[in-house]
Amino acid sequence: MVKAIYAGTFDPLTNGHLDIIRRASKIVDELTILVADNQLKKTTFTVEERKMMIENVLNGTPNVKIDYTNGLVVEYAKKHNVKIMFRGLRNFQDYEYEYSLSKYNSHINEDIETVLLFPSTHSDFVSSSGIKELVYYGVDISNYIPKVNVEIVKNRLKKIF
């Protein structure tokens, strides 16, 4: 059985994330969407809220499960005998970051492979931070995040702004 992880903060889940999830799930037997609770990043949504937004969209997808970690993703992979980590690559800045991250990860766990997926053209520019800025300025975000989560995201962000 080939198991893989697609990790991120998903703060919030975007259609770009969803595109990578759907494509990655076709490549492996089991895909874990791993919500990273990175203490170095300031997140808007709790881990539970981020997991719920993912479940809203992926509920019933047979080979996809959702989990979280507050540690290193590569350590989670080692503990759960996962050999593949999918990452999305939108631009050159992402490439530089992902390249460095893959080197750190392979030093920590030599059995891990990082597989980069390019997003589909309709979502190659979408980012969670961009979504937050659009909500701040009152722009419709329904083309950028799963429609089932639009009101959840708008309501939370309106409380912050």
Q: Which helix (H) or strand (E) holds 58?
A: helix 47-58
Residues 75, 43 contacting (CB under 8 angstroms): no
Catalytic residue among 26, 41, 42, 159: 41
Q: Indicate if 128 belongs to the active site.
A: yes
Q: Indicate if 122 belongs to the active site.
A: no
Q: Indicate if 41 belongs to the active site.
A: yes
Q: What DSSP line would sit under 98-151, residue for residue?
A: HHHHHHHHHHH-TT-EEEEEPPPGGGTT--HHHHHHHHHTT---TTTS-GGGHH
Q: Indicate if 90 belongs to the active site.
A: yes
Residue 13's nearest CA partner among 74, 56, 59, 67 is: 56
Token output for 140 = 């419709």
Catalytic residue among 51, 128, 132, 154: 128
Catalytic residue among 22, 23, 90, 156: 90
> What positions carry a catalytic annotation?
17, 41, 90, 128
